[in-house]
Structure 1
Amino acid sequence: MNLATAIAPGGAQLTGAAFSKQPVPEPASMPMLRQYLRMVMRWRYVILSIIAACILLGLIITLLMTPKYTATASIEVLRESSKVTDIQGVEREASLADQEFYQTQYGLLKSRSLSERVAQQLKLVDDPKFFDQFGAAADTPAFNVVNGRYPAGGRLERQRVAGKVLRDNLSITPTRLSRLVDISFTSPDPTFSAQVANAWAENFIQTNLERKVQATSYGRNLLQRQLAQAKERLDASQRQLVNYASAQQIINLPAQSGDGRATAERSIVADDLATLNAALSQAVAERIQAEARFRQAGAAGASTEALRNTAINNLRQRRAELAADYQRLMVQFQPDYPAAKAVQSQIDQLDRSIAREEGRVSGSLEADFREARERERGLQNKVDALKMSYLDLRRRSIQYNIYQQEVDTNRALYDGLLQRFKEIGVAGGVGINNISVVDIADSPQKPSSPRLLLNLLLSLLVGIGLGAVTAFALEQIDEAIADPAEVERRLGLPLLGSVPKVDGSTPKEALLDRKSDLFDAYLAVQTSLAFTTENGIPRTFAVTSTRPAEGKSTTALALATTLSRGQRKILLVDGDMRSPSIHQMGGVDHDRGLSNFLAGDDDIATMLFPMQDLGFMAMSAGPIPPNAAELLTGNRLAVLVERLLEQYDHVIIDSPPVMGLADAPLIASRVEGVIYAVESHGIRSSLVKTALNRLVSANARIFGGVLTKFEARKAHYGYGYEYGYGYGRERDEKA
C-alpha cells in the first residue's frame, strides 16, 4: 500500500482521491450587533475598570476645582430705525434688517471698548487682587508691584489685559424668539460677579446713549444747513409765482376739501365753467324730457299727463257710467227712445268736455318744451363763451403751473426737513434709549461650577468611550478562542463539541465516573463524530492539536473510553513518539510499542497492554527514536493500521502536535481523518489556522474541532454553555 492509500471502515481501501485537499471553509459571518455584544461581554471587566477609573478621576478633579459663581443681568433690546435722514423709499423695511441689527448689538456687547470701560469704572486696572484672582498678571514691567501699587506707565497695557479677562469670563445669551439678552459673568467671588454683570449692562446703555447723541448732533447740524438753503429756494420760487400771476392777471382761489384741508388752487373761470356746464347738462336733460312728453302727446292723442289728470279721469268715469246705462236701454228700446236720447246727449257733452281738457294739457306740454329749449340755447351760448376764456387762461397758466410746482416741491422739502430737525432736537434733549434693564444681577447663592453630577456624567461618557476603544483594540489584538462559537467562526471547523476543564481530579478519574461532566461532554463529541462519514464513526482517526498540552491525549483517551462502553473493540495508539504519555495512564513502561513496529518488529501482541479500568487496549509509543519523522515516512504505519483493523473495530491514534513537527501530517495521511483539539483561552487562532493549512496540504481530512479546557464563566455568553444538567447538577444540589 502506498502513501496515498488509507483503510476505510470494513477493511475497504480508499485511494488518495477520496482525501483530496480540503480548503479551510470560510467562517460564517456574525451580525454586527452580536459581535459588539460579544466584545463587550468578553472585555466587560476591562471596560468597567476604565469607567470606574474615569469616574474616580472626574470626582477628584471636581473636588479640587475652585468654585465659580455666575451672576446674570437681563436687558431688553428694542428694534429702532435711524430717522436722521429717513426718506420714504430709501431705507429697507425694518423686518428685513432685524437679524443684522440684533447681531450688531450682540457684537457691541462683546466689544473691547465696552470691556475696558467696565474695567475702568470698577477700578480693576490698578487692582493687583483682580489680576491675581484670574491669573492674568504677566511677567512684564506693567505688572511689577511697587509699594503695593502698579506703575502708572503700564496702565494702557493693564487696561487691555483687564478687558480681555472680563471678556473671557463673560457670556452673552440671547433669549430665543424674544428681545431679551442675558449678560452673565463668572468669577470665584459671587459679589464681584454681580458687580461686573450690572456694570456691563449700565455701561452698554450709556454707550448706546452716547452714540445716539453723537449721531443726532451731526444730523442736527446737517439739517440746519439744509433748512437754510431750502428756505431761500422756497422764498425765491414764491416771489416768482406771484409776479407772473400779477402780470398775466391770473386769479386763483384756494379750494377746500370736505374735511377742511386746503387743496390745489382753482381759477374763477374754471369755477364758472363748471357751474354753467352743470346747469347746461340739467337743461339738456329737462329739454329732452319735455320734448319726449310733447312728442308722445302728439303721436298717441293722449299723453301721460292727460291720463294722470284728475278732471279728465272723472269725466271719463262719468261717460263710462252713462255708456253702460245707454247699453241697458238699448236692450229694450230703440235709439229714438226719449230716455235713450237723453243719455246719448249727455255722453256727447262729456266727449266734448274730455276733448277740451286734453287739448289744454297738450298746449301746456308744448309750452314747457319751448321754454326748455330756449333755456338750453342760452346756457349753451354762455358755456361756449366760457370755454374760449378758459382755453385762453390755460395757455397763460402753463408757466404759472410750472412755477406753482416748484413752490410746492420746495415747500414739501422745507417742511420735511423742519420736522426732522424738530424730532432730532427733542430726541437729543430727552435721551430716549431703546435698551433697558429688565433684571439686575444678584449675588449667586451657590456656585455654577464645578457641577458634580454633570462632571460625573461626562466622566462616565468618557469612560464608556475609552472602554469601548480599549475593548475594540484588545479584541483586534487578542486571537484566543473564547467560546465554542468561535471554533467555526474563526477557524472554519465544524464544532464536534466543547469539553469542560476538570478541576480537583485527573481526566482519567473523571472518565471513570459516568455521571461526570467530562464524560457527558465526550459522549456529545462521539455523537457528533457519528455524522462525519456515511458509515457513522470512522474506524481510524487521529487526534492532534497545534501545540502540546492542549488536551489531545485526553480527547483520544476519552473517545476510546466512550466507544468501548458501546461494546466495541477499541485500540488506542500512542503516536507521539517524542513525548509519550498513554503508557503512564496504563501503569506500564514504553519499552515496546509503535516505534518498534515502525522499525520492522512485527510482533504486535507484545506491544499492546490493556486499560482494564477503561475497557480498551492500548499501544505505547515505544522507545523514543532518534528521528520519529523518518519512521513515519515509510508504509509501516499503513500496514499497522490495516492489521489492527482486522482485530479491532476502531483504531485511534494520539498524534503529536502539528506545529514544528512533520509527524502529525504523516499520521493524518494514513487514517480516515483527524479530530483537532483546540484549547480554550490558550492559543491564537492565527496559529491554529496555520496548523490546519499544514494538515490540509497533506491531503488530511479534518472531521472537526473539539474545544478543550472550556470554562463557561469565561465565555462571552456563559449562560449558553452550562454543564451539569442531570447527574452533575443533582450532585451540586445535594452538596
Structure 2
Amino acid sequence: MRNQHASSEGEDEAEARPNLLKYYVRVARRRKWLIAGITAAFVLLGLLISFLMTPQYTATATIEISRETDQVTTFQSVERDVSIGDQEFYQTQYGLLRSATLAERIATQLGLVDDPAFFEMFGALNEENPAFELNGDRFVAEGRGERIRKAGAILLENVAVQPARLSRLVDIAFSSPDPVMSERIANSWATNFIETNLERKVQATAYGREVLQRQLAEYKDRLDESQRQLVNYASQQGIINLPASSSGEGGGVQERSIVVDNLAALNAALSEATADRIRAETRFRQSSVGGSSPEALANDAINSLRQRRAELAAQYENMMVRFEPGYPAAQALQEQISELDRAITVEERRITSSLESGYRQARARENALQSRVNALKDEFLDLRRRSISYNVYQQEVETNQALYDSLLQRFKEIGVAGGVGVNNISVVDAAKVPQEPSSPRLLLNLLLAIVSGLVVGVLAALGLEQLDEAIGDPNELKQQLGLPLLGTVPKVTGTDSPRDALLDRKSDLFDAYLSIQTNLGFTTEHGIPKSFSVTSTRPAEGKSTTSFALATSLARSGRKVILVDGDMRSPSVHHLGEVDHDRGLSNYLAGEDDINSLTFSMPDLGLTGMSAGPIPPNAAQLLTSNRLSNLINRLLRDYDHVVIDSPPVMGLADAPLIASNVEGVIYAIESHGIRSSQVKAALARLRSANARIFGGVLTKFEPQKSSYGYEYGYGYGRDDEGVAA
C-alpha cells in the first residue's frame, strides 16, 4: 500500500510538473505581441544603423612569419628550447604588428600626419585643438608630434591582425571609407613591419658587438690578473712545474712537478739497487757454505789447484797400495796435498771476502737511495699541500682563458654575420584595392537584429512572466495556493449573459459547472455539502456567477436548492429573479422570522432565491449574531442545499463570518486577474476564522493564455453549431 501511495504521489507530481518546452511556447504565445514589437524595433534600428553607416572598404595583405632563434652567445644553459617558446614568439610578433610605433611610422611615411582629409575622413579633425590648426590647406608645424600620435591611434583602431589557425600566415586587414587608402595602408603595414624587423636585427647585431667587445676587455683583464696571481704564488711557494706534452680530451698542455720526476727516478734507482743487493746477498750466502759459490766454482786458479790436488791424491792412493803411510815418498805427497788444500782455502776466503764487500756496498747503496726516496716523499706531500691554492689559481686561469676564447670566437662570428641581413618575414599576398564595401552588411545586420530582437523579446516575456503574480493556470492553484482544483470556468464571449449560457445545457459554461458539481461531491463524506458559500478575493471575479451556476446545476439534478444573497453591501441575486431587494437576508438577521415572505421563486431555473434585503448600515454587525446559523438550519429543513453568495474577503469581515456558519467555502479566482499574494492573504483570513475551504474555481479561464498547455475540452462531442455529434 505504501509503495502504491508513493507511486501515485510521484505520478501526481509528474503530472503537475510543467513541460518546459510547452511552457516556453505558451509564454511566447501569450506575449507574442511584446516579442514581435521588440523584434520589430530591433529590425528598424538595424535598418537605420545600416543606412546611416558610412561604407567601409577593407584591404587585406597576407604575410608569413617564420620561427627563428636569435642567439648572441652560444651558451646552451641560458637558451630555452625552440619548441617551448613558439607560442610566445608568435604572440610577440602579433603584438609588434599592433604596436603604436609601427602605426606612427606608417602614418608618417604615407604623409597622413599632414593630411587634413585623413583626419576628417575618420572624424578626428578637431579645429579647437592647436595641433590641428590650418594654415591654408595645410597644418601648422607646431603640434606635429600630437598629430603623429593621433594618426597612429586612428590606424590602430581600424587595423585587424588575424593569424591563420595552425599556420605561420597572418592577415593584415585595414578598413576605411576610401578603398585606395585601405590598400595603401595595408601594404605599407606589411612592408614596414618587415623593415622594422630587419632594423631590429641590425641593431641587435651592433649592440651584441658592443657588449661582446666590453666583455672581451673585461675577461682579458681577468685572465691577466689570474695569471699574475698564479705566477706570484708559485714563486713564493717554490713550486716549479715543467710543461708536458698535450694529453686528455681537451688536448691541453699539462704541467708536471720536478719533485715528481725526481721521485720517479729515485724509485726506479731504488728498485734496481734493491735487486742488486738481493743478488749480492745471495752470492755471499752461497760462498759461505763450503766455497760452493758460482764465483768460486768459476775461478781458474782454484780449479787448477783442485786439479793438481786431485792428481796428487790419485798418486797417493796408488802408493798406499804398495807402501805404508810412513813411506817417505808417501809423506812427501801428503805434504803437497796439504799445501794445495791450504792454497785452495786461501783462494776461497779471498773470493768470499770479495763477495761480502760487494754485498755490503749494495746494501749501503740501497739504504742511501731509500733514505732519499723517503725524503722526496715528504717533500712531495708538502708540495701537494702547497699546490691546493696553486690548483685553484690554475683553474681560475683555465676558466678565464676558456671564456675569453669563446667570447673572442663569438665576436668574430658576429663580425662576419653583421653584414648579412636574413629576414624571417615575407609578403605572401599583397593587398588589392577592394571593389565592394565590407560594411555595412545589410542582410547580416538584419539577421543580427532579428536574432537580438527575438532574444531580448523572449527574455522580456520570461521576465514579465516571472514578475506576473496572476493565477493563470489550473495547476497553480495547488502549486502556489495549496488549494484543490474543483474546476475551471471558461470566459463567456459574445452577447450572451451567464444566465443565458447556463440555461443552454449545451454550452461550455454549463459543462464546466456540471464538472465542478461532480468534483464537489468528493469534498465531504455525505457528498455535496448541504450548505456552502462562494467567495473571492475581490469583486467581479465570478463568485456570484459561480454560486448561481452551482445552485442551478444542483436544482437541475432534482434537488431543492435555495440561493441566498449574502452580499448585503452589493446585492446581485435579486436581478436573477427580476425582483427588487426590499425584503431578504438583512430582514431576517434584523429579527423578522417569516422566511417565506423573504424568498422568491425562479421557476425557469428550478430553484428558490433570497435577496440580500435592504442594505444595512453595518452588515458585519448583523452577521455576528446567531441568526445566520439559525437561518441556515431552518432552510435545510425545507431544502437539500443552501448556497450563499458571499461578499469578497479583502477588507471585509462578512465573508469569514459567513464561512464560519456553513460546512465550507468554494473560492472563486479570476484567471489572469488577481495577484497570488492577495489570494494568499484572503485565504489566510478565512483559515483564521476556522473556515473549511473545499477548493478553488478558476473563472474566466482562456486556454490559449495558459503557459502549461492546459486544454479546455468541455465542448467535446459537439459540432461547430453546438449540436451533439
TM-score for both structures, normalised by structure 2: 0.70
SS in 2 for 1:430: coil
Verify the 8 A CA contact 2:64 2:428 in the aligned structure 1. Answer: yes
- 166, 169, 175: which is aligned to 2:155? 166
Give the CA deviation at 1:612.
Answer: 1.1
Unaligned runs of 5+ in 1: 1-25, 238-247, 268-387
The residue number in structure 1 matching 2:199 is 210
- Aligned counterparts, 1:507-518, within 5 A: 507-518=498-509
How far apart in 2 are the matches of 1:118 and 1:141? 23
Q: Say whether the 8 Å CA contact 2:62–2:169 is kept in structure 1.
A: no
Which of 101, 109, 112 in structure 1 is aligned with 2:89?
Answer: 101
C-alpha separation in 1, matches of 2:218 and 2:677? 99
Tell me which residue corresponds to 1:364: none
Shift of 1:402: 13
Equivalent position of 1:624 in the other structure: 615
Instruction: Indicate yes or no: 2:177 matched with 1:195.
Output: no
CA contact (8 A) 1:75 1:438 kept: yes
Q: Does 1:117 align with 2:84?
A: no
1-side partners of 2:255 and 2:540: how far apart? 126
Q: Which of 440, 462, 481 is the aligned partner of 2:471? A: 481
Query: Equivalent residue for 1:57?
Result: 45
Q: Does structure 2 retain, via aligned residues, the 8 Å contact 1:75–1:439?
A: no
Contact 2:175 2:182 in 1 (8 A): yes
Matched, 1:656 2:656: no
**Structure 2 residue 126 is the aligned partner of structure 1 residue 135:** no
Residue in structure 2 matched with residue 496 of structure 1 by the alignment: 486
**Cα shift at 1:421:** 4.2
Which of 686, 689, 695 is the equivalent residue of 2:680? 689
Superposition pairs of residues 232-631 of structure 1, within 5 angstroms = 416=406, 419-504=409-494, 505-631=496-622
Cα drift, residue 53 of structure 1: 1.9
How far the C-alpha of 1:637 sits from its partner, in A, is 1.8
* CA apart distance, 1:221: 5.5
Kindly tell me: are residues 510 and 221 of structure 1, through their superposed partners in 2, closer, same or farther at Cα, counting changes over 3 Å?
A: closer
Name the TM-score, length of structure 1 as normaliser.
0.69
**After superposition, what is the alpha-carbon deviation per residue over 1:11-48, rounded to whole angstroms, capped at 9, x for unaligned?**
xxxxxxxxxxxxxxx9x985694796365554343233
How far apart in 1 are the matches of 2:656 and 2:217?
A: 117
Distance 1:438 1:523, change over 3 A: same
> How many residues get paired?
586
Shift of 1:190: 2.3
Q: Counterpart amino acid of 1:579?
A: S
Deviates more, 1:408-417 or 1:546-555: 408-417
Q: Aligned to 2:170, what secondary structure does the other structure show?
A: strand
Q: What do residues 411-442 of structure 1 show as CA deviations (whole Å, max 9, x unaligned)?
A: 97777556534432342223222222222222
Deviation at 1:707, TM superposition (A): 1.5
Distance, in Å, in 2 between the alignment partners of 1:403 and 1:558 is 119
What do residues 37-89 of structure 1 show as CA deviations (whole Å, max 9, x unaligned)? Answer: 36555434323322332233223212322222222332324322223x33454
* Distance (Å, rounded) in 2 between the aligned partners of 1:671 and 1:150: 96
Q: CA–CA distance in 2 between the matches of 1:693 and 1:407?
A: 101
Q: Residues 473 and 215 of structure 1: is their aligned pair in 2 closer, same or farther, counting only changes over 3 Å?
A: closer
Cα pair distance change 1:44/1:411, threshold 3 Å: same
Higher RCO (Cα < 8 Å, 6 or more apart): 1
1:81–1:94: 8 Å Cα contact kept in structure 2?
Answer: no
Q: Deviations over 1:649-700 (max 9, x none)?
A: 1111222222233222222222111112222222222222222222222222
Matched, 1:731 2:721: yes
Structure 2 residue identity aligned to 1:442: K
* Secondary structure in structure 1 of the residue aligned to 2:203: helix
Give the Cα–Cα distance (whole angstroms) in 2 for the partners of residues 226 and 675 of structure 1: 102
Contact 1:596/1:622 (CA < 8 Å) preserved in 2? yes
Q: Does the aligned pair in 2 maintain the 1:75–1:201 contact within 8 Å?
A: no
Deviation per CA, 1:454-497, whole angstroms, max 9, x where unpaired?
43454345434433443344234432222222222232221111
Contact 1:712 1:722 in 2 (8 A): no
Distance in 2 separating the partners of 1:640 and 1:222: 116
1:150 aligns with 2:142: no
Instruction: Give the partner amino acid of 1:172.
Output: V
Q: How many angstroms does 1:539 deviate by?
A: 0.9
| Structure 2: unaligned runs, 5 residues or longer | 1-12, 228-239, 257-372, 377-382
Distance 1:502 1:410 in 2: 107
Name the structure 2 match of 1:75. 64
Between the aligned partners of 1:222 and 1:163, the Cα distance in structure 2 is 34
Shift of 1:731: 2.2
Superposed CA deviations along residues 144-167 of structure 1, whole A, max 9, x for unmatched, are 112111001222221121112112
CA distance in 1, matches of 2:76, 2:103: 38
Q: 1:636 Cα deviation (Å)?
A: 1.8
**Does the Cα contact within 8 Å between 2:30 and 2:704 map onto a contact in 1?**
no
The question of whether the paired residues in 2 share the 8 Å contact of 1:73 and 1:198 is answered with no
Distance 1:221 1:711 in 2: 90
- 2:475 and 2:594 mapped to 1: Cα distance? 45
| Deviation digits for residues 388-427 of structure 1 (CA, Å, limit 9, x no counterpart) | 9xx9xxx9xx9xx999999999997777556534432342
Task: Tell me how far 1:591 sits from its aligned partner.
Answer: 3.2
The whole-number CA distance in structure 1 between the counterparts of 2:63 and 2:723 is 72
2:308 matched to which residue of 1? none
The DSSP-based 3-state class of the residue aligned with 1:488 is helix
Query: Relative to 1, partners in 2 of residues 1:615 and 1:183: Cα closer, same or farther, differing over 3 Å?
Result: same
Contact 2:62 2:171 in 1 (8 A): yes
CA–CA distance in structure 1, aligned partners of residues 220 and 478 of structure 2: 103
Deviation for aligned residue 1:126: 0.5
> For the structure 1 residues 713 and 226, does the alpha-carbon distance in structure 2 shift closer, same or farther, using more than 3 Å as the test?
closer
Alignment of 1:34-49 (within 5 A): 37=24, 39-49=27-37
Name the stretch that deviates more: 457-466 or 42-51. 457-466
In structure 2, the residue matched to 1:304 is none
Deviation at 1:130, TM superposition (A): 0.6
Aligned residue type for 2:415: G
Contact 1:548–1:657, Cα closer than 8 Å, also in 2: yes
Q: Distance in 2 between matches of 1:552 and 1:402?
A: 111
1:73 and 1:197 in contact (8 A); partners too: no
Does structure 1 retain, via aligned residues, the 8 Å contact 2:564–2:609? yes
1:675 aligns with 666
- Structure 1 counterpart SS, 2:201: helix
CA–CA distance in 1 between the matches of 2:681 and 2:392? 109
Match of 2:280 in 1: none
CA contact (8 A) 1:254 1:266 kept: no
- Alpha-carbon distance in structure 2 between the residues aligned to 1:197 and 1:145: 28
The CA deviation at 1:143 is 0.4
* CA distance in 2: counterparts of 1:224 and 1:615, whole angstroms: 122
Residue identity opposite 1:47 in structure 2: I
Q: Say whether 1:666 aligns with 2:654.
A: no
Tell me what 1:642 maps to: 633
SS across alignment from 2:112: coil
Deviations 1:614-648 (A, max 9, x none): 11222222333333323322222222211221111
Give identity over the alignment, percent.
63
| Deviation of 1:522 (Å) | 0.6
Structure 1 Cα separation of the partners of residues 646 and 460 of structure 2 = 39
* Structure 2 residue identity aligned to 1:425: G
Matching residue's letter, 1:480: A
**Contact persistence 1:481–1:487 (CA under 8 A):** yes
| Alpha-carbon distance between aligned partners in 2 of 1:86 and 1:409, rounded to the nearest angstrom | 16
Decide whether the 8 Å contact of 2:669 with 2:698 is kept in 1: yes
Contact 2:539/2:648 (<8 A) preserved: yes
What residue in structure 1 maps to residue 79 of structure 2? 91
